[in-house]
Amino acid sequence: MFLLLFGGFIGFTGYQLVWDERAQLLTSMFVAMLRSIPAFGATLTRLFIGGLGISDGTLVRILFLHIGPATALYAFLWWHYVRLRHPKIWPPGVWVLFCVGLVFLLAGVVPMTRETIPAAAPAAHPTSFPMDVFFLIPFWLLNFLPAGVVVLLLVALFVGGLAIPYASRRETPVEMGVRHSGVAQVIDGNCTGCELCYYDCPYNAIVMVPSPGPGLSKAAANRSLLAVVIESRCVECGICIGACPFEALELPKFLERDVLRQVAEALRPGSGQAVRA
């Protein structure tokens, strides 16, 4: 939800940057939304558009508010990718490059045609604009709802989205006992010392120690480090199992091969459990 709203804000400031009549009207609507916020309205308006109305400083603010969050988003996505990348589920690099290339090629061959909207002018008083239902939906809502209600809805979406993970019911001790699958175990022979599990364990339950000797598998023959699970910290979440590309971690009562078999069975046509689109 955070990403959706954050991305929506970046898209909205992008439309403002074009500075045509749509941008002009969007900015006025945005100001109305900000001013509807009790107590902080005027401060937020100054923060977001550099004054209480459109002024010389407005476009510079908007440029910063577009590029700053977009750059932060890329940085976070990259950080996320580096932390959670899993070679088994990530498509091979060549496929990724092919898809990116295809998008660029298609954008060149079939460029998006845009409506021409007149440039913004102080004397212009636009009353409508071509709609983008993805980025500009809150502004469409302003057709039917007062600005304050739309702001309230956005805040509710944001807070509600953040609260979802905490709203689910907690397991009872009995349910936890049934689920208990034993702390993660390192399969010494397979561990290459790559440290992926060490970085991915959210509970700091894995440490890397100097390897007492080479591993058994070919990949692990030249390792210098070995992963060790600190049992008192492990909550059996299984994240490290997914992080390890070398099948060197297991939850004893929840073996990877059993899970994969269950998934394969569930996906078999006619199993009655297949995931349907």
Binding site for ligand SF4 (CB under 6 A): 184, 186, 191-197, 201, 203, 205-206, 227, 229, 234-240, 243-244, 246, 248-249
Q: Which does 14 bind (CB under 5 to 8 A by kind): ligand SF4, ligand HEM, none?
A: ligand HEM
Q: Which does 194 bind (CB under 5 to 8 A by kind): ligand SF4, ligand HEM, none?
A: ligand SF4
Residues 6+ apart with CB under 8 A from 142: 29, 32, 33, 150
Integer Cα distance of 117 and 130 in angstroms? 9
Closer to ligand SF4 by CB, 171 or 195: give it: 195
Amino acid at 215: G
Kindly state the smallest distance separating residue 184's Cβ from ligand SF4, in Å: 4
φ, ψ of residue 210 in degrees (nearest 5): -60, 135
Where on the chain is the footprint of ligand HEM (CB under 6 A)? 7, 10-11, 14-15, 17-18, 66-67, 70-71, 73, 135
Structure tokens at 225: 């480090």
Kindly state the smallest distance separating residue 205's Cβ from ligand HEM, in Å: 34
Closer to ligand SF4 by CB, 59 or 191: give it: 191
Closer to ligand HEM by CB, 9 or 158: give it: 9
Q: Which does 191 bind (CB under 5 to 8 A by kind): ligand HEM, ligand SF4, none?
A: ligand SF4
Q: Which does 18 bind (CB under 5 to 8 A by kind): ligand SF4, ligand HEM, none?
A: ligand HEM
Q: Is 211 left (phi over 0), alpha (psi -120 to 50) or beta?
A: beta
Residues 6+ apart with CB under 8 A from 74: none
Please give the span between the terminal C-alpha atoms of the chain, in angstroms, as a whole number.
22
Residue nearest to ligand HEM (CB): 14
* Burial class of 35 by CB neighbour count within 10 A (0 to 12, 13 to 18, 19+): middle
| β-bridge mates for residue 121, sequence order | none
Closer to ligand HEM by CB, 70 or 187: give it: 70
Residues 6+ apart with CB under 8 A from 197: 206, 227, 240, 243, 244, 249
Closer to ligand HEM by CB, 11 or 126: give it: 11
Between helix 41-49 and helix 21-35 the angle, nearest 10°, is 150
Q: Which does 31 bind (CB under 5 to 8 A by kind): ligand SF4, ligand HEM, none?
A: none
Q: Which does 7 bind (CB under 5 to 8 A by kind): ligand SF4, ligand HEM, none?
A: ligand HEM
| β-bridge mates for residue 250, sequence order | 185
Q: Which does 73 bind (CB under 5 to 8 A by kind): ligand SF4, ligand HEM, none?
A: ligand HEM
Closer to ligand HEM by CB, 110 or 277: give it: 110
* Burial class of 202 by CB neighbour count within 10 A (0 to 12, 13 to 18, 19+): exposed
Closer to ligand HEM by CB, 16 or 192: give it: 16
Kindly state the smallest distance separating residue 55's Cβ from ligand HEM, in Å: 19
